[in-house]
Amino acid sequence: MSEGSLVALVITALSLGSIHTILGPDHYVPFLALARSGRWSLRRTLVITGLCGLGHVLSSVLLGLVGVAAGLAVSSLEGVEGTRGEIATWALIAFGLAYGAWGLWRALRGKPHTHAHVHADGEIHAHPHGHEVAHAHPHGASRAVWILFIVFVLGPCEPLIPVLMFPAAAHDWFALGLVTGVFALTTIGTMLAVVAAGWLGLRALPLGPLERYAHALAGGVLALSGVAVMTLGV
C-alpha cells in the first residue's frame, strides 16, 4: 500500500471514529444516565465507559478479520453488522425499560409515609418515615454494568468495516493494525471526552424531589437513546 493511501486511510479512520461516536447518543447517554442515578464517581464512570468502548470496537474488528479469512465481501459483513445493530438497539431499549420499571418500583417502595407514636404520658406525635435504600444494591449495579457491556459488544462499528477491509484485502498487516488502532483510540477517546464533560455538567444538576426517581428517569433515558438510534439510523 502506498504512503498516500495509508495516510488517507488513517485520516478516514480518525474522522469516522470521532463523528460516528458524537452522532450516536448510545455511545455516551447510557453512561451519563447510569452515572447520575447511581452516583458514580468520575473515575468509575470513565473506566466503565472505556471498557464498553473497547468491547464495542474489538467485536467489529474480530468480525472483520473473520470475514477476511472467510473471503466475505464488504456487503456481506455490513449486512451482519446491520443485524447486530438492530439486536443491540432493541437490547438497549429493553434494558432501559426494565431498569426504569425497577427504579419506579424502588422509588414508590421508598415513598415517605407517617408513623404515629403514643408516649407513656399520653402525648401523641407523628413523623415521616421511608423505606427507600440509600443506594442501589451493589449486585444490582454490577448487573446493570454487565448488561450495558454486553449491549456494547453486540453494537457494531459499521464505519470500521470498509476501512478495515481495504488493507486486509491487500494483506498489509501494518496498515491494518494502524487503521484499527487509530479508529479504536479515536472512538474510545471521544466517548471518554464526551462522558467526562457530561458527568461534570450533570454533577451540579439538582433533581430536588425527583431525586427519588433518578433510577426510573435513567431507565427512560436509556430506552429513549435506543429509540433515537433506531429512528435516526445513527
What is residue 129's predicted lDDT score, i.e. its pLDDT? 47
Find residue 122's DSSP bridge partners: none
**Which grid coordinates belong to 204?**
451540579
Q: What is the mean pLDDT of each run of 10 residues along the chain (234 residues)?
A: 81 90 90 90 95 90 75 67 84 92 84 51 50 48 83 81 73 83 92 95 77 88 90 73
Cα 29 to Cα 185: distance, rounded to the nearest angstrom: 19
Q: Which residues of the chain form beta strands (DSSP E)? A: 113-118, 124-129
| Closest C-alpha to 155, from 113, 218, 92, 217 | 92
Whether the pTM exceeds 0.85: the reply is no
By residue count, the chain amounts to: 234
**Which grid coordinates belong to 70?**
472467510
| Closest C-alpha to 136, from 113, 164, 110, 162 | 110
What is residue 42's predicted lDDT score, i.e. its pLDDT? 94
What is residue 204's predicted lDDT score, i.e. its pLDDT? 73
| Closest C-alpha to 157, from 226, 222, 64 | 64
What is residue 111's predicted lDDT score, i.e. its pLDDT? 58
Coil/strand/helix, residue 32: helix
